[in-house]
Structure formats: structure tokens, C-alpha cells
Structure 1
């Protein structure tokens, strides 16, 4: 039988390699496009790249403010500010404020800390499931199992993120809630119970009644999923607008989701069945689910429905955005980030060389 911790470690390693390669390819493709414009100066070339997310400090000169970030943060920002040639950019990807390989380091260093995390998650989600069932006048759902796979993930990473240079608004998978032994609030706690209470309160704060409505409203659309418990793990923004959300949900496909289909829609049903989805959706499991609130869910993203029977399956899919991207899509995403709602081929940029919508 496969060692689940080893399986997760290998999945994260593959994800890290593929996400780094995807981001390097994205940057190299943009550099090739910029060089083809035959701009007269390196400064203009660098500015052309600085319109993408996280590159806004590129070639701006000066130094990072002394009161912002750590010494290491400022050192990296200063390297970005000091850039003088477009060809130097690939060597500067490790200076961006997000990891280009998509992996944030673990915050829970020992099995004891991870056990506290999982036990707290289970306790909060059990109460959540009981409350949801009571509100709907349903019988108690029974025990919500511990999300042990999440513990294996947190042994090797605190988050998997897409740096999203392209402004797609894709959500990260960040289930840690920045909780762990290095947390300043946790350091002031008197005992284990108080430490766990910090995490419970963060979960309950982020997963407020409004968030519960958001999760249930989006995932239960058309009775597609049954959700007993879960919590948000991230959201991706364009400006002040959240584009995509990620959640970790104890769910399954609704048993009667196909029972009301019309005979006239057989061809549509066949097309729907061809779209890749979670293979074991009929089973109750903890799943990673990505969704939007202003679109029909579950929509297709990078060739499949964005819900996954395991974290490892999600990590295998998450870097595949690069295969779904071409120059026109890049231009469209950038124009929408500027607030332009057309998909024409114009490269119209906002005057003033400012970051789109104030996003960095």
C-alpha cells in the first residue's frame, strides 16, 4: 500500500516543477512578444513587462521603503527596481513577492501541530454540518471525518498558489490560515486549548454566514453537489473584485442531479458527460473545489470541471493553465484587468503606465 505522505510529497514536487516551468514559459513568451515590437530602449521593454501582475516594481529605480517587509523582502524588491535589461528578467523571478514555483513553505513543523490543526478543523466542521442540517430541518449528518490528506499536504507546504501573472483571478489553495508555532498570537497563548481556539476563531471568522451562503449558493447550483461541511481556502482578485474562490469541502455529487433532464437535451447531456470531472463524485469525500459566484457552476476550467477527489489530483491540474493560454487570451485577460470589456485585437493601454486597477 502506498505511503500517503510520500505520495503527497511527490505530488507537491511535481507541482512545483510544473508551475515553475509554466511561469518561466509565460515570462519568456511575453519577452519574445516585446522584443518583436522593436522598442528603442530597454526601459520601454521592461515597462511593457511591468503591466503584468507582480512585476510593477520592475525597473522603477530607487529603493524599497525601509518600513515595509523584512530585510529579505526589501533586498528582492531592490533587485527588481534595479533591473536594466529585459534579458535579466528570468533570473529575477525569485525576487517577486510570490513564489514562481507556487509553493509556500510549511507552517506546521511537527505531527503534533498538524494533529491539533486537523482535530480543530474536524470539530469546527462537525458543528458546522450539524448547524446546516438543523437549519434545513434535516437529520444530523453523522460524523464528519478528519481530513487526513490535508495533514499530509501541510507537512510539506502551507499553500499552493498560482502567481497569476496573467490576471485570470484564479484562487490559491491556502488552507493554513497562517496558523502555527510562529504565529504572534499563538505565541501568547497559555495552553493547547487556547492555541486551537485561535484557529477555530479564524475559521469561523472567514467562514461567516455570508461565506456559508456563498459556498452553498455556488456549489449547490442545480443540485449538482451535496455539501455537508467545508471552508474557504482562498480567493483570486482582479482589483477589488473576487473572480475565483477555492474551498475544501466534504461533499459528493447530488444523487438526483440527472433525474430531471429533458429528453430534448440528450445531445447536451452527452457533451456534458465528455467533460472531465472528479471520478468518484458519487462518494462522500473531502474535495478541493474552485468556483465563481457570478457564473454557472460547475463551469469548465482548463479542460475539466474544477473539483477534485484529492489534493494530489488538484495539484496535477493546477499548473495546466499554460496549455490553455495563447497570445489572444493573454491580451484579453490584460485588457479586462484594465477595465476594457472588449476582446478586440488592439493593444490599447491605459495612459500613465500605472498598474491595472492598482493591482500589484
Structure 2
């Protein structure tokens, strides 16, 4: 395949974007942990327990044994992370510790073309059904199939930051959770490429309907520069049990001004949008207003968090999260 073909092939563009994202996210998360290790070691603390007590703010339950048998039925990667966390006895152990979201990827469960086509068909149907409920809409207006999302879910159900810094950043998880155990082998390691059943189609259909954003939510939370036809929530991030950041996948167009040189912003298109739960006005994050004309653009932004890290804010967030009210002002 030539370079020109690769650049214009949307499937290859998405594959490269996901690989770039995984590399950047794992590197950033490992670097964040290493920097915290270096900070703690610089304090010349005498015992490993005291060192781990400081790391605990960023990685909860270090060295604590889990009770009960719930791990026997937990997804494989979660069980692996919990067991490694239980066995941490030295700060040095944190350099190689496992986390299922260290690279930011939520693994794909839509592993065949048939499953992905089924999912996209349901998204298109649910979104058009929701749009038709608006009495002011043109009855001939059709919400198109979100083909870019189809390329994305070939490689991931979504992305999720492990958020060791406790910022409350949301995931982007457009594929409804419908029971990974229903799609895996008994040891939880291999997704079974079985044809989607009518039961699964109905479950996905109902969950997507639940995720459709209502007009009042859109008008109250989404950037007023966006005209939204339809959209669904794809993630929620919390801090101290309060909603902090939302993500959504919206079919929308921008209300651009005359100075905007990119006229495509005016086009109707599927876009990823991230917005703060409490903000009246759009809130910049990681150096920009978080509205993205493509999923690869969103992935590059989401994995750039280390470039915009404010350590004073991080320390405030982690202390506040664990009950130090002096930091919650």
C-alpha cells in the first residue's frame, strides 16, 4: 500500500491513531507514576510503609488484602490488577505494576464485521428515531451512519484514563456494556465470534436509547456554539462522588464566525465533545475547547494530558478526594 493510500484509508488512519494513543497513554501514565516515586524517594523516608502511604493517594489499596471470593468471578484484567496491588510491599514495585487501563484502551468486544455492522445499524436507527421526536425537525432529515465510529470499535470499545491524578476526567465509551462474560471463553481470555442474537440486539438497542441525550440536557450542558440534532452520552467522570466531566458523541454542526477558515466546521457531522458538568460556559481542557471533528483528533488530545499537568492542582485533587478538607476550598 502506498503512502498516499494509507493516508486516505479511514480504517488505516484509525488503526494508526489507536496505536499512537496506546503508546502515548502508557508512556504518560508510567511517567506520572515514576515522577511520584522520585518525589517520595527524595523525602528520605525510612520505611517502605511510609513511602507507600504517600503513594496511596495516587493508587488506592496498596498492599491491602481483599476479602471475599469476588475476585474469582472478576474479569481477568481487573483480577490481575487487584492481586498485584495486594502484593505491593515496596515503592519500587510501582514501576512495573499492572493496570487494565494503563494504555487507556477499553478492549473491543465487537470483534467481527457482523457485530460491528449490527451495532452501527442500531445506532443509526435509534438516533433517527430520537430525531423524529422533535416536532420542529425536517421530517426528511436523516442522521447518517457513523462509519468513523465503526472503524474505531474494531480496535476498542472506548478509551478510559486510569486517572491516577484524580482529576475526574471522563472515559469515551460509546459501546454499551452488555456482559463481556457472554462473549468470552470460560477463562475470560478469548472473545467468541458468535453471530449476534436477537436478544443482544434488543439489549444494545435499549441501552443506546437510555444514553440518548434529551433536549434539556443538550441546551444546558453542551457548547452553545453547537447545533445538535441528536447525540448520546459516552462517559462520565467523577470526583468525590460528584459528576465532573461528561463525554458525548453528537451529530451536530458548529455555529462558526466569519474568521473561521475551516468551512467544514459548518457541516453536519458526528463529533466527540467533552464538557464540564457544572460549567455554564464551555470549559477549556488540555489547552483547548474539547470539541473534536474526528475520533483520531480526540484521541491525540485525550492522550496529551501530561503536557498540561498542573501538579499543584493534582495535589489538591488527591488530598481533597481522600478527605483533607483544607484542600477542597
- The one of 36, 48, 69 equivalent to 1:30 is 36
With over 3 angstroms needed to count, the CA separation of the structure-2 counterparts of 1:143 and 1:320, relative to structure 1, is same
Partner of 2:304, secondary structure, is helix
With over 3 angstroms needed to count, the CA separation of the structure-2 counterparts of 1:66 and 1:338, relative to structure 1, is closer
* Alignment partner of 1:91 is 2:91: no
For 1:230 and 1:51, the matched residues in 2 are separated by 36
Shift in Å, 1:74 = 3.5
1:167 corresponds in structure 2 to: 166
Q: Deviations over 1:147-167 (max 9, x none)?
A: 000010000111111111111
For 1:39 and 1:279, the matched residues in 2 are separated by 58
* Alignment partner of 1:291 is 2:291: no
CA contact (8 A) 1:27 1:90 kept: yes
1:82 corresponds in structure 2 to: 87
Shift in Å, 1:138 = 4.1
List alignment gaps of at least 5 residues for structure 1. 260-269, 345-360
Shift in Å, 1:279 = 8.0
* Alignment partner of 1:125 is 2:127: yes
Shift in Å, 1:254 = 2.5
Shift in Å, 1:288 = 0.4
Shift in Å, 1:102 = 0.4
* Alignment partner of 1:178 is 2:184: no
Partner of 2:128, secondary structure, is helix
2:69 corresponds in structure 1 to: 66
- The one of 197, 218, 221 equivalent to 2:221 is 218
Partner of 1:234, secondary structure, is strand
Matches for 1:184-203 after TM superposition, within 5 Å: 192-203=197-208
For 2:312 and 2:241, the matched residues in 1 are separated by 24
- The one of 17, 24, 42 equivalent to 1:18 is 24
Shift in Å, 1:76 = 3.5
Partner of 2:243, secondary structure, is strand
When the two structures are superposed, what TM-score results if normalisation uses the length of structure 1?
A: 0.78
For 1:300 and 1:45, the matched residues in 2 are separated by 35
For 2:243 and 2:167, the matched residues in 1 are separated by 11
2:48 corresponds in structure 1 to: 42
1:264 corresponds in structure 2 to: none
Residue range with higher mean Cα deviation, 65-74 or 119-128:
65-74
Aligned residues: 311
* Alignment partner of 1:56 is 2:63: no
Shift in Å, 1:317 = 0.7
List alignment gaps of at least 5 residues for structure 2. 184-191
For 1:59 and 1:6, the matched residues in 2 are separated by 42
With over 3 angstroms needed to count, the CA separation of the structure-2 counterparts of 1:18 and 1:115, relative to structure 1, is same
* Alignment partner of 1:111 is 2:113: yes
Shift in Å, 1:280 = 3.7
With over 3 angstroms needed to count, the CA separation of the structure-2 counterparts of 1:173 and 1:141, relative to structure 1, is farther
Partner of 1:89, secondary structure, is helix
With over 3 angstroms needed to count, the CA separation of the structure-2 counterparts of 1:224 and 1:149, relative to structure 1, is same
With over 3 angstroms needed to count, the CA separation of the structure-2 counterparts of 1:225 and 1:158, relative to structure 1, is same
Matches for 1:149-164 after TM superposition, within 5 Å: 149-164=148-163
For 1:238 and 1:181, the matched residues in 2 are separated by 27
For 2:220 and 2:11, the matched residues in 1 are separated by 34
For 1:339 and 1:72, the matched residues in 2 are separated by 29
With over 3 angstroms needed to count, the CA separation of the structure-2 counterparts of 1:341 and 1:290, relative to structure 1, is farther
CA contact (8 A) 2:317 2:327 kept: no
For 2:217 and 2:109, the matched residues in 1 are separated by 28
1:101 corresponds in structure 2 to: 103
